[in-house]
Structure 1
Amino acid sequence: MRHRPEPAAARYRFGARVLDLAQRELRLDGIPQPLPARVFECLQTLIEHRDRAVGRDELVRAVFGRPDVSDAQLAQVVLRARRAIGDDGQEQRAIRTVPRFGFRWAMDIEEVGEEVAPVEAAVVEPEIETPTPPPVAANDDDAPKPIRVVATRAPRRRRWPFALAAVIALCAIASVFAWPQWRAMHAVASTAQSRGAIVVLPMQVEGDDSAAWARLGMMDFVVDRLRRANQPVWSSEATLALLRTQGDTPDAQRVRRDSPAAWIVESRARNVRQRWDVALTALDAKGRTITGRANAADLVGATRQATDRLLAAIGGTSPRVAHDAPDFEERLQRAQSALLANDPDTARRLLHDAPLAQRQTPQLQYRLAQVDFADGRHADGLAKTTHLLRLPAVQGDATLRAQLESLQGRLLMRLDRYADAERSFDRAIAAFVPTPNASELGRALIGRGTARMAQGRFDEALSDLGSARVQLVRAGDRLSVAKVDGNLGVLEMQRDRPREAAQAFEKAERDFKALDATVELSGVRNMLVAMHLMLLQPEQAVAVSDRAWAVRERLRDPAHVADLVLARAETLITLGRLQEADALLRLPQSRASSPGDFHRHEYLEMELARQRGDAAAVARIGTQVLRDWPAQRNGRLRAWVAWRAHEAALDAELPTPPNASALDADALTKQLGIAVRHRREGDFNAADTAYKSAIAIAEASGVPGMIANAVIARAHFLLAQDRVDEATALVGRVAPWADRDFELALLQVALYTHLRQAGQQQAALALARRLAGERPVITRL
């Protein structure tokens, strides 16, 4: 790799990104992005020579520092460079391919000579400008005392209703410190790692520039054929997750070091005189090699023959699977290559362009259903899998049937149909158990465990996740193991243990970042934000939110984008950055959330209105959504919406909202709702009894956010009743958290106002102003 003098500017800005040559960093919105050295060199070379096309050989010398580099190696670096800047091979917005020559930079560049400050932007157009929070709240004044507090009291929400989105997406990692029995289970799994597993590396392709798709597509073809021959082979996704941690070029020795596999399979394909020569070489731990080689007119046929010859050499038997036409098999593998490269648009186009007879086959329809899942079209995917599972041809293909059942379970989870998903996973597990497919079985067990978790059956979920982990560790499937552990973190959250969940998600963030698992990384950061908010740690929450926001352009599924937008909006509301939060909630993309986040958008609209002091708007929004909110849809969030709507309606002297029974879905909101009802009826003794019960429930959980919620509600009630001594004792229990929570700081102001302690009141008021952001603090009496 060559070293060149840096230009005077040394920084290039394009869109929300800056390539800093002096620091050798790529920054997105001011946040450094992980970037392999060769990818950096590729971007630097293309940008520096953006006035012309850069030839293939020139780019190779700049990136690798030597001429003997295959087209496949260069194509992989360019692919990673495109991904790093939010580009792809289809749109080519920034890196454009120049046929038979090389590449050219196509995006506008601005040279900047000094450090570029972070830029806050929306997920998609229009961009959202970050307003500077005012030093004091808009309605603040320095009027003499006495004063009264008028800001609304936004509760610290229990995030558990939102946890379903993470459960469904299987997008978190957790550590296993929480349960002694889980540590024992992990030890068993570690000793059970199968050294008979086979890892297939991406194919190296030479002699045909149009066959770059084969790198991943034919890797997956070999994996599928070995799997159908009942060999314990890693999934393509698991292999790619391992390779992401190892740099640009797959290295069998490094894979050997990082995996328990018995065989590492490398493959090479070379096009010579319109025929394909394919060689598969398996390397064992002792350095012994076995090779399967074949030559055929088409790449798929040659790879199939080479795989079967390798199977015979290691003592396996070729699978008895009917061969499709070479062009059809190639199309399927091209589409799979695009899916593995996170490019569902290309995969869909390839499949839709097939002849009618091919489009009607179960194999192509199954691939289309996978594309639907990757692209967030869950209802479309479910329709396809349901139809396919009724076909006699599918019923006679045990492997395809099991894969379809597993995919259907994941689709049903996305559609909030947890009981149906569990039944699909049951059938998939039954089909996978007799096979050596530990990875497929483990994934189906993850699915059933998450379906049971979503239904509140935590012990059964733990059992499934434990069994899944044993299978996946045995298979060496690191990414799926991470997903198992992540769901254990979500399970901690469901058990009202946010500290343990937060620590688990912190580990998850590190692991998914190392695996370059974008969707999972985004999801786990959203959950970590929620945990910090529940622990009354706003500074940590916003730091994680900033990191989550940095990867927004790499998300494709509309539900994932919506979850990110809503999580960001929630964080900003908590910090009093109301204009930014409002702008996010106005984005159309914010309403594309998954069924597991049913009415979360409206809930955050209520939070925003309450932070602005508009109790009537809170009651109006809550009343509207409660009218047609089914009890079985996101019941715990429904309970919190009902409580806040009832409380706001009472404060605004509006009629009681509908669906009072919604409060019963959560023990804490049930008691808080009872207290509001008794206040409306004038029975203040009964109201206080209910508030005391709510505090007892919150304190039993040990969660600061829940405790603050209940204390704020009862303390304001006591102050309104002039029961100052009781309020003083109650407020003292949460005083240590007041320096980092606006609502608790306001509570201190209200208490000292009633006590007529001017010095303490002024100190509390200064603290509330510091934490307020754009929220109102006081008005003159």
Structure 2
Amino acid sequence: MTRPIYRFGDYRIDPSARELQHAGELVVLSPKVFDSLAYLIEHRDRAVGRDELIAAVWGKADVSDTLLGQTVLKARRAVGDTGNEQNAIRTVPRFGYRWVAPIQVEAAAEETPAATAETERMAAETAAPAATPSPSAPAVAPPVRQAGANFRPRIAAFAAFAAALVVLSAAGFWWHARRDATVPATPATTAQTQPTPDAAAVLPVDVDAGGEWTWLRLGLMDLVATRLRNAGQTVVPADNVVALARENGGNGAAHRVREATGARLIVLPSASRSGSEWIVHLLLRADGGDREVEARSTDVIEAGRAAADRLLAVLGKSPAKLAPDAPDASLAERLSRAEAALLTDDLDGARRLLETAPPGAQKAPELRLRLAQIDFRAGQFDHARGLLDALLEEVSEETDPVLRARILNGSGAVAVRQDKNADAERDFGEAIALLENRNQPAALGQAYTGRGIAYAQQARLDLAAADFSRARIALELAGDTLALARVEANEGIVDGKRGRYADALSSHELAAQRFERFGALNELILTLANAAEAQLALLRPADALATSDRGWALLGRLENPNTRHSFQITRVETLAENGRLLEARALLRELLGAIPHDGDPAMLGRVQAVQARTDLLDGQPAAAAALASAALERLSAPDYLRDRAGAWLTLVRALRAQGRDEEAAVEVGRLAAWTATLSRASQPLAAALVAALAEAEQRWAERRLDEARDAYEKTLRLAEQQAVPGDIAEVVISYGSSLITDGEVQRAAAVVGQVARWADRDFGCALLQVRLYRALGHEDAWRAALKQARALAGERSIPANLTAPPEHPVATRETRRISQENQVADAARTLRE
């Protein structure tokens, strides 16, 4: 009996067994996602309608478009596809979906479990060693070589991306938060405790007028959204909507916005001109049906405001009164046009509009704040600082607390970009104090996010985590899904710094999903890199490679060189951890040539640290020592404590490999002294763990074995306390290799057993199993371990001596002592006789 098996790329799907595999590993899917995937593949000869797919998978008709869209999105991700690329599942507009990737079909015979197990057993028994060692080969490789078998010290991983993404998130601050009316304060209620109303999303305006009015598409959209927001209606921020609606308009954009943001109210605006009169029409699409309002005026801004007010009446809300200093119609139009330019990243156009305003209008705080925001986005931080400081002198808490808070948010964002984190902490703190008793969740969420970033960059991780949690609540109330994604990414970074990699990975995966929906390429690529780092720390190199591949496919569309270089550094490590050494080293050479020596010192330091580890593994300890020493000088910022400690460990190992033992001992002392100055809260156990491992290895090299064992045991307890698989493996590989080298095999067995659970996916752990079983003389276990190591090796070599079957168990120190005593006794007895 046979069943069809479908193959595409590295994937294999078996509908009968309900299994999807990627590169031989099972991909876990929910039943509906699997059924959707299988149905599209089985009917790949044609497009499948949405109703047909719903009926086939759910067996009923009352399934929402949102649920179907989410299910197809998960199916795409399961096979390495996205809604943007559509290389496997293509959307057929206004109809459904179609499978488009090439498929190979094979007929597989049904196997009994017993037959499968017997086949695997026979394959294991017939596996042969790859090479025969020379008789003079040593029993084991030196422990310093083995300690680096997985290309890099894993205890130095992950912190590298914190600065890049944390600072990046400041770019989302405050620039889109325009105000033309005051919102009454609500002193009895904070933003954190208010119930979340149904969110509304205002889509770009369909403009029927001459080309000079194209700015209305986004400018009028923002004006209507601001008018609704100021009346207390939760409105999805304009940058969220623009990101989601960039590819299509109308119903298609409405569906994307609703799916990504959860907004239940969709506003579809249009503006047309009839003679001298403007007609602004708003269609409200809600679950209960459609409602329409319209307003007319000779001034398009006034027509937009009037239409928004009529829509508020439909929603049961009253318009907010205009503030006494609200912009007049001409200034309001200029601000709306500038907003439209900003939403399309036309910074020069926005600046020209504002700088050519009449002299009186140029004094308006709103216009000057907008100019500061443009400077910020253009990277002109000093000029932005001058404008913001002048505004803070003029706008007091008494005159306009909300506007002052917005200015403070901008000031804090500039301080973050200038690495003045204490100043940023002060500015955001004052903004929080002004906002927390007012109904301003968007600005409050920005303030908490900003202060969390300032805390994180000062390595005050508990405070950062608390502020990110508060920001999450405020931004959920504000309906700002894109800002929420930035918070989730930052929470993942903080969790990674605290060694909580499983939690970090969950946050990064959720943030990546949101960034992908919004087309936020820069943030998406950095988040994928952070996710891959977390997977490496969890000893999931194959998963890390799959995550890295997603980012690698997008890298050609990226313009930001810092983001590209950051991603490439993690790409090097991910390739190496999967045994793809040629690619890793080629990319590393490219990075060394691309990053200027007078550019970002931390970026260059990270690359030098990776190259130093590579040189040490390639038998070039002098070059490794020089690069590691240079990296130490460049990795001094709090964000790079783990990287700096890892570079220090490479330096110590490289010095010992050259026979410079006294210098190595000095560096071990310097590393210990440096880590003693760090607070536990800044990098829990991370740097201390590296220092402890360096000390243990140094004691062993000096043959102070009792002290070395005690130091190793202490280091292992530290690693177990942190419970990061990569950290535990690094310590066990070093300790276990040292014990095996010295013939303490029984003690080694107890140590090595702690990483046996990862030997099926991590090359370093697998190779350590080979060493142990060979030293113990257990041929069957050695053969199975060798097969596993070969499967994981890729281009990494297995020492020739480990491929020779063990002849007999290696004697332990106690066994050798007893044997020697027996030989002495036999000799004495012979002499007496």
State TM-score, norm by structure 1.
0.70
Deviation at 1:722, TM superposition (A): 3.2
Aligned with 2:421 (options 414, 418, 421): 418
Supply the distance in 1 between the matched residues of 2:489 and 2:329 (Cα, whole angstroms).
Answer: 42
In structure 2, do the counterparts of structure 1 residues 748 and 617 end up closer, same or farther at CA, with 3 Å as the change threshold?
farther
Supply the distance in 1 between the matched residues of 2:226 and 2:594 (Cα, whole angstroms).
Answer: 37
Supply the distance in 2 between the matched residues of 1:646 and 1:276 (Cα, whole angstroms).
Answer: 75
Task: Please name the residue that 2:9 is paired with.
Answer: none
Task: Please name the residue that 1:576 is paired with.
Answer: 579
Matches within 5 A, 1:75-114: none
Task: Please name the residue that 1:203 is paired with.
Answer: 205
Equivalent residue letter for 2:756? A
In structure 2, do the counterparts of structure 1 residues 493 and 635 end up closer, same or farther at CA, with 3 Å as the change threshold?
closer
Task: Please name the residue that 1:109 is paired with.
Answer: none
Deviations 1:592-623, CA, capped at 9 Å, x for gaps: 99888683222222333344343333222111
Deviations 1:84-137, CA, capped at 9 Å, x for gaps: xxxxxxxxxxxxxxxxxxxxxxxxxxxx99899xxxxxxxxxxxxxxxxxxxxx
Equivalent residues of 2:699, 2:707 under 8 A apart: yes
Aligned with 2:160 (options 162, 174, 178): 162
Equivalent residues of 1:36, 1:247 under 8 A apart: no
Task: Please name the residue that 2:327 is paired with.
Answer: 323
Deviation at 1:649, TM superposition (A): 1.7
Supply the distance in 1 between the matched residues of 2:255 and 2:553 (Cα, whole angstroms).
Answer: 34
Equivalent residue letter for 1:733? Q
- Asked whether 1:521 is paired with 2:527, we answer no
Deviation at 1:429, TM superposition (A): 1.8
Aligned with 1:773 (options 766, 781, 794): 794
- Asked whether 1:751 is paired with 2:772, we answer yes
Task: Please name the residue that 2:729 is paired with.
Answer: 708
Aligned with 1:639 (options 645, 649, 656): 645
Residue aligned with 2:154, SS = coil
Deviation at 1:675, TM superposition (A): 2.2
Residue aligned with 1:559, SS = helix
Deviation at 1:438, TM superposition (A): 1.3
Deviations 1:300-343, CA, capped at 9 Å, x for gaps: 565356557767994321233453784x76565455335434xx
Aligned with 2:408 (options 389, 405, 410): 405
Deviations 1:461-519, CA, capped at 9 Å, x for gaps: 34433333332333333333444444444444344232333344334444443454434
Residue aligned with 1:271, SS = strand
Equivalent residues of 2:205, 2:221 under 8 A apart: yes
Supply the distance in 2 between the matched residues of 1:291 and 1:518 (Cα, whole angstroms).
Answer: 37
Equivalent residues of 2:395, 2:404 under 8 A apart: yes
In structure 2, do the counterparts of structure 1 residues 35 and 465 end up closer, same or farther at CA, with 3 Å as the change threshold?
closer
Matches within 5 A, 1:202-601: 202-227=204-229, 233-240=235-242, 249=251, 265-273=267-275, 276-280=278-282, 291=293, 293-296=295-298, 299-300=300-301, 302-304=303-305, 307=308, 314-316=317-319, 317-323=321-327, 326=330, 332-341=335-344, 344=345, 346-351=346-351, 355=355, 366-367=369-370, 370=373, 377=379, 380-381=380-381, 383-391=383-391, 392-393=393-394, 398-585=401-588, 586-587=590-591, 599-601=605-607
Aligned with 1:144 (options 131, 134, 144): 134
Supply the distance in 2 between the matched residues of 1:599 and 1:621 (Cα, whole angstroms).
Answer: 9
Supply the distance in 2 between the matched residues of 1:288 and 1:742 (Cα, whole angstroms).
Answer: 60
Equivalent residues of 2:219, 2:336 under 8 A apart: yes
Equivalent residues of 2:240, 2:482 under 8 A apart: yes
- Asked whether 1:670 is paired with 2:721, we answer no
Equivalent residue letter for 2:134? P
Residue aligned with 2:759, SS = helix
Supply the distance in 1 between the matched residues of 2:743 and 2:562 (Cα, whole angstroms).
Answer: 48
Residue aligned with 1:634, SS = helix
Supply the distance in 1 between the matched residues of 2:156 and 2:768 (Cα, whole angstroms).
Answer: 20
Supply the distance in 2 between the matched residues of 1:113 and 1:704 (Cα, whole angstroms).
Answer: 37
Equivalent residue letter for 1:684? L
Deviation at 1:351, TM superposition (A): 2.4
Supply the distance in 2 between the matched residues of 1:557 and 1:324 (Cα, whole angstroms).
Answer: 39
Equivalent residue letter for 2:162? L
In structure 2, do the counterparts of structure 1 residues 473 and 455 end up closer, same or farther at CA, with 3 Å as the change threshold?
same
Supply the distance in 2 between the matched residues of 1:23 and 1:623 (Cα, whole angstroms).
Answer: 61
Supply the distance in 1 between the matched residues of 2:334 and 2:614 (Cα, whole angstroms).
Answer: 50
Return 5+ residue gaps in structure 2 as ranges. 1-43, 48-71, 105-129, 171-189, 679-686, 803-833
Supply the distance in 2 between the matched residues of 1:734 and 1:434 (Cα, whole angstroms).
Answer: 52
Equivalent residue letter for 2:304? T
Aligned with 1:604 (options 587, 591, 610): 610
Deviation at 1:199, TM superposition (A): 4.0
Residue aligned with 2:279, SS = strand
Deviation at 1:169, TM superposition (A): 4.3
Supply the distance in 1 between the matched residues of 2:642 and 2:386 (Cα, whole angstroms).
Answer: 31
Task: Please name the residue that 1:737 is paired with.
Answer: 758
Residue aligned with 2:269, SS = strand
Deviations 1:1-40, CA, capped at 9 Å, x for gaps: xxxxxxxxxxxxxxxxxxxx98999999x96441499xx9
Equivalent residues of 2:388, 2:410 under 8 A apart: no
Which is greater in Rg? 2
> Number of residue pairs matched?
646
In structure 2, do the counterparts of structure 1 residues 339 and 744 end up closer, same or farther at CA, with 3 Å as the change threshold?
farther
The percentage of aligned residue pairs carrying the same residue is 33
Task: Please name the residue that 1:99 is paired with.
Answer: none
Supply the distance in 1 between the matched residues of 2:586 and 2:353 (Cα, whole angstroms).
Answer: 40
In structure 2, do the counterparts of structure 1 residues 619 and 253 end up closer, same or farther at CA, with 3 Å as the change threshold?
closer
Supply the distance in 1 between the matched residues of 2:406 and 2:605 (Cα, whole angstroms).
Answer: 32
State TM-score, norm by structure 2.
0.66
Deviation at 1:352, TM superposition (A): 5.3
Supply the distance in 2 between the matched residues of 1:115 and 1:259 (Cα, whole angstroms).
Answer: 35
Deviation at 1:547, TM superposition (A): 1.3
Query: More relative contact order in 1 or in 2 (CA 8 Å, sep 6+)?
Result: 1
Equivalent residue letter for 1:730? V
In structure 2, do the counterparts of structure 1 residues 584 and 353 end up closer, same or farther at CA, with 3 Å as the change threshold?
farther
Residue aligned with 1:526, SS = helix
Supply the distance in 2 between the matched residues of 1:633 and 1:337 (Cα, whole angstroms).
Answer: 36
CA RMSD of aligned residues (A): 4.6
Aligned with 2:626 (options 620, 623, 628): 620
Residue aligned with 2:760, SS = helix
Supply the distance in 2 between the matched residues of 1:261 and 1:774 (Cα, whole angstroms).
Answer: 50
In structure 2, do the counterparts of structure 1 residues 488 and 623 end up closer, same or farther at CA, with 3 Å as the change threshold?
closer
Deviation at 1:412, TM superposition (A): 3.8
In structure 2, do the counterparts of structure 1 residues 370 and 775 end up closer, same or farther at CA, with 3 Å as the change threshold?
farther
In structure 2, do the counterparts of structure 1 residues 499 and 427 end up closer, same or farther at CA, with 3 Å as the change threshold?
same
- Asked whether 1:697 is paired with 2:747, we answer no
Equivalent residue letter for 2:516? K
Residue aligned with 1:157, SS = helix
Supply the distance in 2 between the matched residues of 1:547 and 1:252 (Cα, whole angstroms).
Answer: 27
Q: Which has the larger displacement, 528-537 or 401-410?
A: 401-410
In structure 2, do the counterparts of structure 1 residues 195 and 373 end up closer, same or farther at CA, with 3 Å as the change threshold?
same
Equivalent residue letter for 2:746? D
